[in-house]
Amino acid sequence: MCEANAYVRQDGVEELFLEGVDKVVPMDNQLYLENIFGQKKMIAGTIKELSLVDHKIIIEKI
Amino acid sequence: MCEANAYVRQDGVEELFLEGVDKVVPMDNQLYLENIFGQKKMIAGTIKELSLVDHKIIIEKI
C-alpha cells in the first residue's frame, strides 16, 4: 500500500496528525483527509510539502 | 516505491503531467514537482486532490 502519514509542522517540529492517509482534498482553507482505515479528519491548514517516497505529507496550520 | 503520477485536470479530463512524482512543494500559486528520475517541473496550479492508494495527484491549473 502506498499511503502516507500526515504531519503538522509547527515551529520546525513535526507532529503526527493522521496515519495511513489515502485521500487529501483541499477545501478553501481546510484540508480533508481520509485514511485507509476509514478515518476522516479536517484541519485548518495547507499542504506544505509532499514527500511520497518517505510516505510524508507535511501540513502547515493556518 | 510509492511515488504517484501527477495529472492536470481540465474540463473533467485528466492529462498526465509528470510520472513517478516523489516531491511536491506548493510555492505561491505554483507547484514544484520532482520525480524519482530527477526530473523537475513547475506548474501554475494547485493541488485539487491526492489519492495515494491510486498513485494519483490531481492538479488544477490557475
pLDDT in tens, A48-60: 999 999 999 999 9
* Total domains present in chain A: 1
Does the CB of B39 have a partner CB in chain A at under 8 Å?
A: no
Q: How far is A13 from chain B (nearest CA, A)?
A: 18
Q: Which residue has the cell 517540529?
A: A13
DSSP string spanning B18-59? Answer: EEEEEEEEEETTEEEEEETTS-EEEEEEEEEEEETTTTEEEE
A14 is in which domain, residue-wise? 4-61
pLDDT attached to residue A2: 82
Contact A51 B3 (CB under 8 A): no
pLDDT in tens, B35-45: 999 999 999 99
Nearest CA in chain A to B32: A49
Read off the pLDDT of each residue in A13-41 and give the average, rounded to a whole number. 97
